[in-house]
Amino acid sequence: MGMGTSNFVIRWINFLTMLLAIAVIIFGVWMSTHHDSCRRSLTFPVLGLAAFIFVMFIVTNNGSGHYVPGLRYKEYELQDFSSWFLKQLNNTQNWKRLKSCLVKSDDCNNLSKKYKTLNQYKSAKLTPIEAGCCRPPSECGYPAVSASYYDLSFHPISSNKDCKLYKNSQATKCYNCDSCKAGVAQFMKTEWRVVAIFNVILFVVLDSKRIKHIKQPIYRARELGSS
């Protein structure tokens, strides 16, 4: 998938997410104006869900990444993400906790096991975290010796500070790099959108069952009253 196609898909996902939020808001307003007090009691949860979707749409709207010639995956830059992400990831305490988790995780530690040869590694489709935290940015120009080792004796061709922060040590890698923070931001963005969509589907299913359950005793009461 080329960059143009990928961006086109991302724009459509954003657009559909916004339409979904608008639809939920309309549904919430409809319930608030309905004469049934039971339906009106569901207004605030529905509007709250719509607000949640809108926030996810705004916060995760940026950071689509860019392709590098010869690679099958994208690289991400921290400044491409929303100010909210920047604030959270640049917070020293927040990043210290996240970094400790990354060091212990298998994302970087298992790369040499997943890709036993250099050709396998170069043709791999790395995840945002693997691309940003386990290796130096491509613009540094460091030659890859293996999936977990780069020739750092090569003079970096870029002034990007991440080039000097990267180390081959499993405990260091590029965990202090902005590229790593950007990879984490992209991972969070993807996960949060999945969670938001799942929450919408779950809410619609549960809400339809709840309304049906509420309507049954109301209809029974009306039938008894009419008899």
Name the token pair of 136: 């130096």
Rounded Cα distance between 70 and 7, Å, is 19
With CA atoms as reference, report the closest residue to 85 among 209, 173, 185, 203: 185
* pLDDT recorded at residue 45: 60
Q: Please report, in tens digits, the pLDDT of each residue of the chain (227 residues total).
A: 444 444 455 555 556 666 666 666 666 666 566 555 554 555 556 566 566 665 657 555 555 678 888 888 999 998 888 787 788 888 899 899 889 989 988 889 999 999 999 999 999 999 999 999 999 999 999 999 999 999 999 989 899 999 999 999 999 999 999 999 999 888 887 766 555 555 555 555 655 555 455 445 544 545 555 55
* Burial class for 107, CB neighbours closer than 10 Å (0-12, 13-18, 19+): buried
* pLDDT recorded at residue 203: 55
* pLDDT recorded at residue 4: 44
* pLDDT recorded at residue 44: 58
* pLDDT recorded at residue 40: 52
Question: Tokens 């940026």 sit at which residue?
Answer: 62
Name the token pair of 84: 């909210």
So where are the chain's domains? 3-226
| Residue 76 near residue 132, CB atoms below 8 Å | yes
- Please tell me the pTM assigned to this model: 0.64
3-state secondary structure of 202: helix
